Amino acid sequence: MAVGIFDSGLGGLTVLDAVARRLPQMAFVYYGDNARAPYGVRDAEDIFQLTTAGVERLWDAGCDLVILACNTAAAAALRRMQETWVPENKRVLGVFVPLIEALTERRWGDNSPPREVAVKHVALFATPTTVATRAFQRELAFRAIGVDVEAQPCGGVVDAIEDGDEILAEALVRSHVDALKRRMPHPEAAILGCTHYPLMETTFQQALGPDVKVYSQANLVAESLADYLERRPEMAGIGKDSMFLTTGDPAKVSEKATQFLRRKITFQAA
């Protein structure tokens, strides 16, 4: 049994790490489209074509269920994929909904009408494309009312992380937080709307201050996946072995991934 995890690059490894710890008996196939990362500056059609190609490769590896661990892909392509492209015997899920369910304190599958929630002022940090789609605001509106969301497109952060330039990434995070706080001086919660950003969570928290609750995706997605598979065990897929696939240079990607997770990761060509 194997579950697929798709990302434009290395950020989805934060999700993989969390779900592997939560579901140690499960095999996972990770697909990183490193040759074409980052997705955050591409248009929606381009993202749709790249994402569907990656998902098809994961289906070929025996993964009937694929998690889009790329917020940009989930924001720009997931709804179209689910409505027009995914066959009935497969599932493709995104990473926004578990985050919003945690923010609004709703259980998975709670389809009751939107209601007032405790948090009223939310800062969203995401890639420029994710911000432009307004997918987070749309999903939030299904579940909550009266929430003010201020979104900050965080240009350059993913590139700096992928390049291993931690000093530049930290500087960019602080700059983006400062820019958002000029528009929303006192956010109550902050959403890290990119799976790369948990690697900078400490920097986000320091820049935002101790009174802002920072929501990061990896652990929330892991719990949501465990719940989903408990209810839908048939979606676990037929794959048996864990694999790491990349469209980039396997040796270079393996080296960066090993630095990311601080354990040996070996990619092979997708």
HEC-encoded secondary structure of 12-68: CHHHHHHHHHHCCCCEEEEEECHHHCCCCCCCHHHHHHHHHHHHHHHHHCCCCEEEE
From 197, 215, 233, the end of a domain falls on 215
Q: Into how many domains does the chain fold? A: 2
In the chain, the N- to C-terminal Cα span, in Å, equals 20
- Examine the domain organization and report whether 225 and 165 are in the same domain: no
**Looking at the structure, do residues 76 and 114 belong to the same domain, yes or no?**
no
Do 157 and 247 lie in one domain? The reply is no
Question: Are residues 116 and 207 both part of a single domain?
Answer: yes
Provide CB contacts within 8 A for 34, sequence distance 6+. Answer: 8, 9, 10, 162, 246, 247, 248, 249, 253
Statement to judge: residues 105 and 183 lie in one domain = yes
Domain with 234 in it: what CATH number?
A: 3.40.50.1860
Task: Give the model's pLDDT for residue 108.
Answer: 59
124 and 258 fall within a common domain: no
Token duo for residue 201: 């969570």
State whether 136 and 161 are in the same domain.
yes
DSSP label at residue 244? E
25 and 48 fall within a common domain: yes
pTM: 0.89
The last residue of one of the domains, among 215, 241, 256, is 215
CA distance 142 to 139: 5
Q: Are residues 108 and 58 in the same domain?
A: no
Q: Please tell me the predicted confidence (pLDDT) of residue 103.
A: 87
**16 plus 86 within the same structural domain:** yes
Q: Are residues 101 and 201 in the same domain?
A: yes
Distance (Å, rounded) from C-alpha 28 to C-alpha 241? 7
C-alpha span between 173 and 171 (Å, rounded):
5
Domain's final residue, options 173, 189, 215: 215
In this structure, the answer to whether residues 6 and 44 fall within a common structural domain is: yes
Predicted pLDDT at 109: 64
pLDDT, residue 97, reads 84
Active site residues: 70, 194
* Consecutive 10-residue averages of pLDDT for the chain (270 residues): 94 94 95 93 95 98 96 94 96 90 78 88 94 92 92 94 92 98 97 91 97 92 92 89 96 93 94
Residue 129, number of CB atoms within 10 A of its CB? 23
Give me the domain span that covers residue 66: 2-94+218-269
